[in-house]
Structure 1
């Protein structure tokens, strides 16, 4: 682990500002803001050609103060080395075909900037190493064929020693396995959730405004992509989304756990008991019972219509409480002790405060030292952070519930 006083390459300081403006960072900030060159030029009161010259590095000293104000980025962002960008092919999006190119660039720019913040974390704290197996490790028999999502989910539960009981806290579980989970900026939340691998680190970005049950399914869905589709271009084929949905259902509601609970006739009222036990949405519970053969096609259709009419498609009445990021909470607590505040992080990393707050899913930090310089003790290594895997709920009864 690097010395905690070492400044990572994406950060900037006063010497950076006097040394070099980085045109690639300007382009990234413009794309993050969702602006075309033409629209940005109008905001700045210049021609489109002028913006092109700035981004091509043909102007040594562009008007940084004006650029910073119009893009709502700290001036410090525009200095320093290039930020490694997340390429489109590395990301698993659910609805790429419905996204405009401008929206796609905005989301990818946000992901790239969040990765820069993740590097800041790695520079200072020792966090869980990634432990996300590949599809070859989970299902050796499927190496030369299509992935088997249910088999992969069951194998992962075994590998992670989860048994067949409900997972109490999906977010904490994934963080304990080295997956970095961040929030999507509010203006991008129609994207829903997406995941990617970079430098052997898995990332999930999700919409924290959804119900807890849907967030848990999103996390399991993206976990499926991370395991089954690493290195595969998934964005234009519906089958990969079906794979991830099947994986999520089987991971959250294992067949060996749910079948003993429903040996008799299942009623719609039973769904509400089961969905709270398994901590999933009512609709996800209906689909899973259909997948394991406990309800008929007709029952699934009828109950899905009934649940839609009751408002379950848009929200989750009588839902469970939201899960919180244990890892980010620990990091922000330590950052506070080291003299960092959200404002200082925003300024020193060059990340807009709103984007930083969105990435932290609402967590903020106020330094106990006000706005003084952060302090570190070089003799002491980076703090060792431990994320306790999401606890399992009480053991299900061996007798059928219904």
Structure 2
């Protein structure tokens, strides 16, 4: 293969930036792109700088990346930058993984922008908390203020995902996201939370959503990812899911120096949080001592309850529904128009964002 490439004319209808976006969203490296096209990595790099792919290469790119020719021929009008994003991730996660997730979210926002031309999503129902985060009590008040904004009282939250969506937050699944990323949030035109479906733990998912709500409420305009901001979001999640005004009164008395695990099980099922989260919260509220909390964590570890816990199977696995409901309102012709404008394909929307898409009447007959 001759790696010499034509230089990109000023008028050419090809966007190297959009190719880079689609490649990152698909998790492809430049070497992967070269292998796809049967060219060198250097040639692939030129395509993202100042070269124009051939029609045959365009066909290969659209099929592999899940985008259309229109997508690759339209300018990139905005980008999701990492400093805008709140990642709930393990330390092992890399910038490459985060860029891939951010690129997938940028594609999702293209779809949402088009959906909003047809469907009215709920307005954002909470206010940013702008008081300096100087201590735990301030964060408690931020969580209590969020509950007041949404008029949900001080009892258990039956479905935190549905609550977030009712507050105008779009929650989206990303299929097969790297398991080193737990969750992700962003507030551009509207707040958005990404869930990683690779981890199958209902209590962990609920806490992740509450954690990301903490970022959206407390950290607008603040770069997160450090220990301090992560601890603040964790504290917000605990306070949101287990309000001090009510949770403390339900926490069971100790059996001497030992936790009452049977009663804690009932508490877990009522509040839909993990044993680990219950123990942390009890220690934060001074309901148990540090030594008693340490003993509880040791018990959980000794019994293999680090990733999955007893009674998890009795807690509902939450799933987002707001965007799917918006898609379900559309007829096939409108859906085709939205896809065309976004430059995405049915396959990408179904496989990446785990959404069911409208089918044509002819397909139903067939």
Q: How would you bin the TM-score normalised by the shorter chain?
A: 0.7 to 0.9
1:217 has 2:212 as partner: no
Whether the aligned pair in 1 keeps the contact of 2:124 and 2:169 (CA below 8 Å) is yes
Residue from 43, 59, 65 that aligns with 1:65: 59
Residue from 145, 149, 160 that aligns with 1:159: 149
CA RMSD of aligned residues (A): 2.8
Task: Give the distance between the partners of 1:306 and 1:168, measured in 2 at CA.
Answer: 28
TM-score (norm 1): 0.77
Structure 2 residue matching 1:98: 3-state secondary structure: coil
Residue from 251, 263, 272 that aligns with 1:270: 263
CA 1:65–1:355 in structure 2 vs 1: closer, same or farther (change >3 Å)? closer
Bigger RCO of structures 1 and 2 (CA < 8 A, at least 6 apart): 1
Task: Give the distance between the partners of 2:123 and 2:269, measured in 1 at CA.
Answer: 32
Residue from 287, 290, 308 that aligns with 1:294: 287
Task: Give the distance between the partners of 1:44 and 1:124, measured in 2 at CA.
Answer: 37
Counterpart in the other structure of 1:261: 250
Residue from 86, 95, 111 that aligns with 1:92: 86
1:328 has 2:323 as partner: yes
TM-score (norm 2): 0.84
Give structure 1 stretches of 5+ with no counterpart: 1-18, 373-402
* Offset at residue 244 of structure 1 (A): 0.4
Whether the aligned pair in 2 keeps the contact of 1:183 and 1:358 (CA below 8 Å) is no
Cα displacement string for residues 294-344 of structure 1 (whole angstroms, at most 9, x for unaligned residues)? 122122112122223333321243221112323123213212x44567x99
* Offset at residue 60 of structure 1 (A): 6.7
Cα displacement string for residues 80-134 of structure 1 (whole angstroms, at most 9, x for unaligned residues)? 3325210011001234853333222211111111111111221110111112311
Structure 2 residue matching 1:204: 3-state secondary structure: strand
Shifted more, 282-291 versus 29-38: the winner is 29-38
Whether the aligned pair in 1 keeps the contact of 2:155 and 2:246 (CA below 8 Å) is yes
Counterpart in the other structure of 1:240: 229
Structure 1 residue matching 2:262: 3-state secondary structure: helix
1:42 has 2:32 as partner: no
Task: Give the distance between the partners of 1:178 and 1:125, measured in 2 at CA.
Answer: 13
Residue from 101, 104, 120 that aligns with 1:107: 101
Counterpart in the other structure of 1:392: none
Give structure 2 stretches of 5+ with no counterpart: 1-11
CA 1:245–1:61 in structure 2 vs 1: closer, same or farther (change >3 Å)? same
Counterpart in the other structure of 1:51: 44
Task: Give the distance between the partners of 1:359 and 1:72, measured in 2 at CA.
Answer: 9
Whether the aligned pair in 2 keeps the contact of 1:185 and 1:355 (CA below 8 Å) is no
Counterpart in the other structure of 2:6: none
Cα displacement string for residues 175-199 of structure 1 (whole angstroms, at most 9, x for unaligned residues)? 1111111112314342110111113
Matches within 5 A, 1:165-204: 165-199=155-189, 201-204=190-193
Task: Give the distance between the partners of 1:79 and 1:194, measured in 2 at CA.
Answer: 29
